[in-house]
Chain A
């Protein structure tokens, strides 16, 4: 596997960005955004995780095979969340056919 040499300023930039985003998370936590509270907090966290994976874990410079495994990991996370949410979103919906309506 070819080792990509990454200039240290990239690491410093990413580190600085992560610190700024952490500060942003703290600031947002004190703002009342109503239903958007969770959305904003999770979006910032996702952005931070993406930066860590791409740069600190060197995925951006890795082979296509590594990319395939990373994507597969996230695909399975989506499966976990999507099917679990399908339970929560339909649990209280009960549309049973009523025999007397059919008669």
Chain B
């Protein structure tokens, strides 16, 4: 890796308001200029708006679930309605928020900027991805409007194939179409990263955010088609009685779980790997330090992508799967802990002796570090065959995956939103409010989900709306926490909207961060990102000043 501090053609835009007068935001104001745009940055903004909409819908369902669970009796809704609530919460949050969240918004916006390209390799395909996502999302909304789905977000057979109403087809078709959006985005990223890096941007000078997205894209391309085909197989069985999953027709319901989890377990890594990329950027910037173990973090992303495909059966220990296969899956699942731990230790080592400052993005990043570790370690409990048989389908599992998905993926998303908001909009948000909301989210999150570990270990099953009275106190904590968490997410919504009009204008590099997007592009960047193609002469995280000894 080069250690040169000289960068020819460097264009520092550090004084406030010195961003280019013409930028991607004022390049056109008509609806057409947005809806038919092929600019990766505008498409990222389209995703940001639509993802926020789906996050609010998914959050509303979560709120209703927590309200129902405030008391042991089923006094707010009937059991079937409750089934629909947690199903729609899962479908919306997983397929229409978590999977696309960081790649579609920040991957889209930042990958070309980070590698010194003018756009993604296939700009029109990128716009098509957004339309596919919206098309899939509208079908899911229609499924809700027509009365909702009650199969659980996993669409397990025979619920989805034999006993469900026809709304299942709509919701599954929505997930199917959104899957193609995901595949095309992954394809676009892989080709862009291979083919469009600026001169001097070697693989080991790439920001780790790009490595994270590369690993994510591999999963999107290799995994998503499998779940798409699985949904087609369910449709074929329903429509033409071809025996695939139904034992009466000669099929096997557990085959559905194999095919579903072959994608849906790696999908967890689609959610978390991009956020891990965000972590590497934020931790280095706010420690003013080169990242510890660049190569290990880069390759651990690829290791997670590959190993993530070998562990799906840990969702099926109690399904009737062969006990020997379960043992193999248990051992393989332990292996995934290794690259995850490598990352956590390397980020921690980066903090060591760093000049750490606690701006809002860093608070979210530190939150990620703690929450992801708890989520990951409880994952090791669940990988253990005997423990999992005890806590399978209890709130312990619910708490575990929310620590990964909310505590990990969404914390990373929030860190990214705060870190790159000045770059995306050219405006600064109120730092005090941002730090306050980060703390509110951290407290609200723990209060919501930590009691669920305990109540789950005590034996409270998931997916029931009535429960024994002795579990009430922990559920009251959880519902109170969810309320605080909800408020924590609403505060940023308010101040981000406020900052669009009233926020102070940002300089090109308000964090004094390293990276082409900060050092060579304006805030907001112009339509084609850079006036001149950047030439890269150093690694991604040269934060520490060099002392030359003669």
B482 → chain A, closest Cβ, in Å? 37
Contact of B222 among A73, A91, A94 (CB under 8 A): A73
Q: Does A32 contact B (CB under 8 A)?
A: no
The stretch among A21-29, A41-49, A80-88 that forms the contact with chain B is A80-88
A65: chain B residues at CB < 8 Å are: 194
CA distance A86 to B325 in the complex (A): 6
Q: Does A72 contact B (CB under 8 A)?
A: yes
CA distance A103 to B226 in the complex (A): 49
CA distance A83 to B313 in the complex (A): 9
A82 → chain B, closest Cβ, in Å? 10
B192 → chain A, closest Cβ, in Å? 14
B323: chain A residues at CB < 8 Å are: 90, 94
Q: What DSSP secondary structure best describes chain A's contact surface?
A: helix
CA distance A59 to B226 in the complex (A): 22
Q: A87 and B262 in contact (CB under 8 A), knowing A65-B194, A76-B309, A79-B309?
A: no
Q: A90 and B322 in contact (CB under 8 A), knowing A76-B309, A79-B309?
A: yes
A91: chain B residues at CB < 8 Å are: 320-322, 325
CA distance A89 to B323 in the complex (A): 11
| Chain A interface residue bracket vs B | 10 to 19
Taking a contact as CB atoms under 8 Å apart, the answer to whether A79 and B313 are in contact is: no
Q: A86 and B258 in contact (CB under 8 A), knowing A65-B194, A79-B309?
A: no
Q: Does B324 contact A (CB under 8 A)?
A: yes
Number of A-B contacts (CB under 8 A): 46
Q: What DSSP secondary structure best describes chain B's contact surface?
A: helix
B313: chain A residues at CB < 8 Å are: 83, 87
A93: chain B residues at CB < 8 Å are: 322, 324
CA distance A23 to B218 in the complex (A): 37
Q: Does B254 contact A (CB under 8 A)?
A: yes
Q: Does B328 contact A (CB under 8 A)?
A: yes
Taking a contact as CB atoms under 8 Å apart, the answer to whether A83 and B322 are in contact is: no
Taking a contact as CB atoms under 8 Å apart, the answer to whether A90 and B226 are in contact is: no
B310: chain A residues at CB < 8 Å are: 79, 83
B328: chain A residues at CB < 8 Å are: 83, 86
Residue of chain A at shortest CB distance from B262: A80
CA distance A25 to B298 in the complex (A): 47
CA distance A49 to B477 in the complex (A): 57
Q: Does B337 contact A (CB under 8 A)?
A: no
CA distance A90 to B254 in the complex (A): 14
**CB-defined interface of B161-195 with A at 8 Å, one 1/0 digit per residue?**
00000000000000000000000000000000010
A83: chain B residues at CB < 8 Å are: 310, 313, 325, 328-329
Residue of chain B at shortest CB distance from A84: B258
Taking a contact as CB atoms under 8 Å apart, the answer to whether A87 and B226 are in contact is: no
Taking a contact as CB atoms under 8 Å apart, the answer to whether A87 and B254 are in contact is: yes
CA distance A10 to B218 in the complex (A): 33
A79: chain B residues at CB < 8 Å are: 309-310
Taking a contact as CB atoms under 8 Å apart, the answer to whether B222 and A90 are in contact is: no
Other A-B pairs beyond A80-B226, A87-B254, A90-B322, 6, CB < 8 Å = A73-B221, A80-B259, A84-B255, A86-B324, A91-B322, A93-B324
Residues of A within 8 A of B (CB): 65, 72-73, 76, 79-80, 83-84, 86-91, 93-94
